[in-house]
Amino acid sequence: LLFDGNPVPMILCALDGERILAVNDAAIAHYGYVRAEFEKMTIKSLQAFDAELPWAAGRSSDEQAARTWKHVRADGTLIDLAIYSRQLMHGDQPAMLLALMDITERKRAEARLAFMAQHDSLTGLPNRNLLRQQMDEMLQHTRRSTDKVAVLMLGLDNFKAVNETLGHGIGDKLLRAVAKRLRSTLREEDALARLNSDEFTIVQGGVMRPEDAVLLARRILDAISEPYLLEGHSVVIGASIGIAMSPGDGEDSEKLLKSADMALSRAKSDFRGTFSFFEAEMDARAQSRRKIEIDLRDAIQNEGLQPYYQPLVDLSSGRITGLEALVRWPHPERGMISPGEFIPVAEETGLINPLGSLMLHRACMDAAQWPDDVRVAVNLSPLQFRTGNLLALVTDALRQSGLPARRLELEITETLLLEKSSQVLATLHALRALGVRMSMDDFGTGYSSLSYLRSFPFDKIKIDQSFVRDLGANPDAQAIVRSIVSLGVGLGVTITAEGVETEAELSCLRAEGCHEGQGFLFSRARPNAEVISLLKAQRVATALVA
Ligand code: C2E
Ligand code: CA
Ligand code: CA
């Protein structure tokens, strides 16, 4: 009666074969097996993971009861159990009586408590305690490699205003939405936590260079700044980010968090809506790039950029056959800024597309005013091939200016062909089909693989100025120039030498049979007005000779 009517599930097992001899009604109700089935099973077949018996020798009954067992019910669900056992005689056979206390709920509650102690209740993100643990692990990891850990402390700009004007309910929803966007911007292995009301901390592992943290900061700022739709309100919020990197800005989690916090304060006071590095030197570099980006955006919009043109001269006749458009940026405070400084920033930020389009349009417009036998060359960045509308851009520039396609030359570098992308080749062929000429720029500086020359029929190869510079002193340079020229002759391609500065270089190039030259010896890049008079003078001179 005590067994059958007991409200606690009980199972009687044979001591030897651990076969189940009897189960009570409570056990049948709890496990969901029918009696006949149940009494054919063994105790081990109920156990989800453990291989040993719950009455293993040598353990006190307290120890035994403190342990949690996992059993499988008939419907496949798992339950947590504490098991009390007592040996007794069943008829004349020694047997083990088990009382099974279901502690699944208690375990769940404990897990909830443990979770709450380590997480923020509003967003469910880790709190400072857990973050510190995660950071310590990541830092431990980097000690054995050259990777760094970056800490990005993000503060929402004007969060208080959202709370005050739209109410705390919407404020809370906004914080949850921000947490969600942040999580989806990060990789699985990056840690994310909420440390203060409107501050989130991101810990990025596997960082090689500060630029990796910059890219992430940009991605985060972009993701956060998209509008949020909350209870019918469209809410826009900006954010600032402070960045600290191990080991320079701190070797332990405490110091790194402090450094990132200081960087955040500076980001908030200097430039809202952007990021700031802790380290002064890195910071100066990132900020100067950032300043270039801001000013460049403005210059592109307000016609602050203009093409200058540098002549390409036919070495046998001495005539100008074309001019290369080179972008010039007279900065109001800094004077002329070199393209070497801002083209990389433009490429990094995507501004290369509006810049490239502007240059192409302006160059075609200007060239349309030049004599009909003079071409214009325009540089293209590989990134312009990625946007997909390059063909339309070129067609447009030609149509608007009325410049015949044969008078436009596009200069690309071999990095474009590195990927051997079929889309790039298709665009190159389509451009050439328009009648536009294609030049391979800076030849000799990259991989200079002949396969690039075979993969696309270029009209011109421009020998990089470093070879021209070496011509007098280095016989190897002369041999290289000679072979590129003979390659050009073989392929029916015009060979142009860049950066010709001296008469000695010029006569050497002439002797090697190089077709064209460009460089300070002939002329620097000049504004269009000067180009027009230069070309007029050339025409007068030709007419006089004739
Ligand atoms: P690049 O296409 O190789 O242009 C030739 C560079 O060599 C120009 O520098 C030119 O001023 C310089 N140069 C010409 N002759 C001589 C010489 O005799 N001696 C020396 N030392 N230098 C000479 P710049 O204008 O500073 O342009 C630098 C680079 O910026 C260009 O190299 C090109 O890659 C890029 N760039 C310029 N304008 C544009 C543009 O509109 N779009 C794109 N995507 N890139 C551009
Ligand atoms: Ca060029
Ligand atoms: Ca070049």
Q: Could you write out the DSSP letters of every residue in 147-196? A: -EEEEEEEEEETHHHHHHHH-HHHHHHHHHHHHHHHHHHS-TTSEEEEEE
Outline where DSSP puts E strands in 236-305. 238-245, 275-277
Atom of ligand 1 nearest to the CA of 347: 44
In the CATH scheme, what is the code of domain 306-326+356-545?
Answer: 3.20.20.450
Calpha distance 462→439 (Å, rounded):
7
Determine if ligand 1 sits within 6 Å of the CB of residue 340.
yes
Residue 142 has pLDDT above 60, yes or no: yes
DSSP 3-state helix, strand, coil percentages of the chain (rounded to 5)? 45, 25, 30
Residue 420 has pLDDT above 80, yes or no: no
At 176, is the pLDDT very low, low, confident or very high (cuts 50, 70, 90)? very high
The two three-digit tokens of residue 513, written as one number = 């049979």
Calpha distance 471→448 (Å, rounded):
19
Determine if ligand 1 sits within 6 Å of the CB of residue 43.
no
Q: Sketch the domain layout of the chain as residue ranges.
A: 10-108, 120-278, 306-326+356-545
Mean pLDDT over the full length of the chain: 90
pLDDT of residue 58: 66
* Alpha carbon nearest to ligand 1 atom 43, residue: 379
The answer to whether 471 and 481 are in contact (CB under 8 A) is yes
pLDDT tens, position by position, 195-205: 888 999 999 99
Query: In the chain, what percentage of residues exceed pLDDT 90?
Result: 62
Most confident region among 6-10, 12-16, 161-165 by mean pLDDT:
6-10
pLDDT of residue 2: 85
At 441, is the pLDDT very low, low, confident or very high (cuts 50, 70, 90)? very high
CA of 476 to the centre of ligand 2 (A): 24
CA atoms in the 13 A half-sphere facing the CB of 47:
14
Average pLDDT of span 401-412: 98
**For the ranges 279-293, 321-335, 385-399, 443-457, which has the lowest average pLDDT?**
279-293
pLDDT tens, position by position, 46-83: 999 888 888 876 667 677 777 889 999 999 999 999 99
Calpha distance 243→136 (Å, rounded):
17
Residue 272 has pLDDT above 90, yes or no: no
pLDDT of residue 197: 85
Determine if ligand 1 sits within 6 Å of the CB of residue 155.
no
pLDDT of residue 437: 98
Direct distance between the N- and C-terminal alpha carbons of the chain, in angstroms, rounded to an integer:
130
pLDDT of residue 255: 87
pLDDT tens, position by position, 483-531: 999 999 999 999 999 999 999 999 999 999 999 999 999 999 999 999 9
pLDDT of residue 247: 86
The answer to whether 440 and 458 are in contact (CB under 8 A) is yes
Handedness of CA 366, 368, 372, 375 (dihedral sign): positive
Looking at CATH, the fold of the domain delimited by 10-108 is given as: Beta-Lactamase (3.30.450)
**Mutation probe of ligand 1 site: the residue of 313, 338, 364, 379 with most atoms within 8 A of C-beta:** 379
CA of 443 to the centre of ligand 3 (A): 8
The answer to whether 321 and 522 are in contact (CB under 8 A) is no
Calpha distance 347→495 (Å, rounded):
28
CA of 411 to the centre of ligand 3 (A): 8
Atom of ligand 1 nearest to the CA of 501: 18
pLDDT of residue 421: 81
Atom of ligand 1 nearest to the CA of 462: 3
Displacement of CA 241 from its chain's centroid (Å): 17
Residue 27 has pLDDT above 90, yes or no: yes
Query: In the chain, what percentage of residues exceed pLDDT 70?
Result: 96
pLDDT of residue 284: 67
pLDDT of residue 539: 85
Residue 22 has pLDDT above 80, yes or no: yes
Q: Which residue has tokens 């002439």?
A: 510
Calpha distance 332→298 (Å, rounded):
12
Query: Is the pLDDT higher at 275 or at 136?
Result: 136
Calpha distance 439→456 (Å, rounded):
10
Average pLDDT of span 228-252: 90
pLDDT of residue 279: 64
Taking a 5 Å cut-off on Cβ, the residues next to ion ligand 2 are 379, 411, 441
pLDDT tens, position by position, 278-293: 766 555 666 777 889 9
Q: Which CATH class is domain 120-278?
A: alpha beta
Q: Which ligand is closest to the CA of 462, given by its number?
A: 3
CA dihedral 132, 133, 138, 140 (to 10 degrees): 110
